[in-house]
């Protein structure tokens, strides 16, 4: 009888130990089923007991951050981008421009706007940009997925990072080989973006490369760029041509009054305009015009030939 009791005790102990191991192994599933899903139904004592024996608590459910899409178009100015974000209910135009830099403001003489942030430590391609001008020209136009909770700085970082990836090593080497700075190229590209026909759907920028050659030709001989796009930037209008009075406005961005490149970019150019600025097609043209309606470009070697084109095609 004693042996029977002994064997029964051993069997009971083995059974108890086995049951305990299995219970501990599946305790997290029990916890999930009994506590997490029935927390309001079980007595508190039962909940505490299960929590006490549970070695691992259930992992919290991942919190997904809401995302949204923004689209910045080629040729938009920083002011355009600020107005876009305001229309989308993201930030006011002022909030965006306080962060990116206000257009045409030399921050060396600034007494009213917030201090301009220096982004060049994070993005070395900005190191040849004068530190007293904003980010006009570098906010790369594209379609972006951003977090709905993103800050203005985070969105700007995304745009600058995109610019950094688009301006590849060969392009940077070719700019340096030409004796130009990235800032000069971006400034020229911004004018080309506004003046030349560009097809981002097909990648065609041949006419833009010819027009780029014309602008570089003018700079080489000291001729004014005479770009109406720079006047549009000053006045904030959409006029393809400006009056004689407009041409006299005293602004360093007025390329009719002042020779050379303007102090900085007048828009944020896309990759086709940037490529056109780096790789112009050499011609002996110094003038061009684009006819309204058909968007055809007509070139001229002399001013007299240019006047004939005006009379013929601008009716």
Which whole-number Å values give the CA distances from 65 to 81, 86, 147, in the listed order? 24, 22, 7
Between 197 and 22, the more confident residue is 197
User: Percentage of the chain with pLDDT > 70?
Assistant: 80
User: pLDDT (tens digit, 9 = 90+) per residue, 84-138?
Assistant: 999 999 999 999 999 999 999 999 988 889 999 999 999 999 999 999 999 999 9
Question: Picking from 155-159, 199-203, 244-248, which range would have the lowest pLDDT averaged per residue?
Answer: 244-248
Angle value at C-alpha 229, between 296 and 267, nearest 5 degrees: 110
User: pLDDT (tens digit, 9 = 90+) per residue, 42-53?
Assistant: 566 655 655 665
For position 5, what pLDDT does the model report?
47
For position 292, what pLDDT does the model report?
79
The answer to whether residues 207 and 288 touch, using CB atoms and an 8 Å cutoff, is no
For position 48, what pLDDT does the model report?
64
Q: Which of 277, 73, 283 is nearest to 171 (CA)?
A: 277
Q: Which of 183, 228, 226, 211 is nearest to 273 (CA)?
A: 211
For position 239, what pLDDT does the model report?
78
Does the pLDDT value for residue 228 go beyond 80? yes
Confidence band, pLDDT 50/70/90 cuts, at residue 11:
low
Rounded average pLDDT over 198-224:
97
User: pLDDT (tens digit, 9 = 90+) per residue, 238-250?
Assistant: 877 787 888 999 9
Residue whose structure tokens are 């080489």: 220
Between 64 and 58, the more confident residue is 64
For position 27, what pLDDT does the model report?
47
The answer to whether residues 278 and 175 touch, using CB atoms and an 8 Å cutoff, is yes
Confidence band, pLDDT 50/70/90 cuts, at residue 175:
very high
Burial class, 174, CB count within 10 angstroms (exposed 0-12 / middle 13-18 / buried 19+): middle
Confidence band, pLDDT 50/70/90 cuts, at residue 15:
low
Does the pLDDT value for residue 207 go beyond 90? yes
Distance CA 246, CA 255 (A): 11
The answer to whether residues 262 and 253 touch, using CB atoms and an 8 Å cutoff, is yes
Average pLDDT across the chain, whole number: 87
Between 59 and 180, the more confident residue is 180
Confidence band, pLDDT 50/70/90 cuts, at residue 217:
very high
Which whole-number Å values give the CA distances from 7 to 17, 24, 256, in the listed order? 15, 26, 108
Residues near 13 by beta carbon (within 8 Å), at least 6 away in sequence: none
User: Percentage of the chain with pLDDT > 90?
Assistant: 70
Between 19 and 212, the more confident residue is 212
For position 291, what pLDDT does the model report?
84
């Amino acid at each position: 009888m004693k042996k029977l009791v002994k064997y029964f005790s051993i069997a009971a102990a083995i059974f108890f130990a086995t049951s305990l191991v299995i219970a501990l192994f599946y305790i997290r599933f029990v916890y999930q089923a009994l506590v997490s899903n029935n927390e309001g139904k079980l007595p508190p004592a039962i909940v505490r007991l299960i929590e006490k024996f549970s070695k691992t608590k259930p992992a919290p459910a991942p919190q997904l951050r809401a995302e949204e899409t923004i689209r910045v178009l080629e040729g938009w100015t920083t002011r355009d981008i600020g107005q876009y974000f305001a229309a989308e209910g993201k930030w006011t135009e002022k909030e965006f421009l306080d962060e990116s830099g206000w257009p045409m403001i030399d921050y060396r003489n600034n007494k009213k706007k917030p201090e301009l942030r220096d982004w060049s430590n994070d993005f070395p391609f900005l190191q040849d940009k004068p530190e007293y001008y904003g980010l006009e020209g570098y906010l790369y136009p594209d379609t972006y997925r951003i977090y709905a909770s993103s800050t203005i700085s985070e969105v700007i970082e995304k745009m600058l990072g995109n610019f950094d990836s688009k301006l590849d090593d060969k392009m940077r080497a070719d700019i340096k080989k030409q004796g130009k700075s990235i800032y000069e190229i971006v400034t020229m590209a911004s004018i080309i973006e506004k003046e030349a026909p560009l097809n981002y759907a097909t990648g065609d920028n041949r006419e833009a490369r010819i027009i780029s050659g014309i602008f570089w030709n003018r700079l080489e001989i000291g001729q004014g760029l005479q770009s109406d796009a720079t006047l549009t930037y000053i006045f904030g209008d959409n006029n393809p041509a400006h009056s004689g009075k407009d041409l006299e406005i005293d602004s360093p961005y007025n390329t009719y009054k002042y020779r050379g490149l303007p102090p900085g970019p007048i828009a944020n150019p896309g990759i086709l305009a940037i490529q056109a600025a780096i790789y112009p097609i050499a011609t002996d043209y110094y003038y061009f015009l684009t006819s309204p309606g058909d968007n055809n470009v007509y070139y001229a070697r002399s001013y007299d030939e240019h006047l004939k084109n005006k009379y013929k095609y601008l009716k």
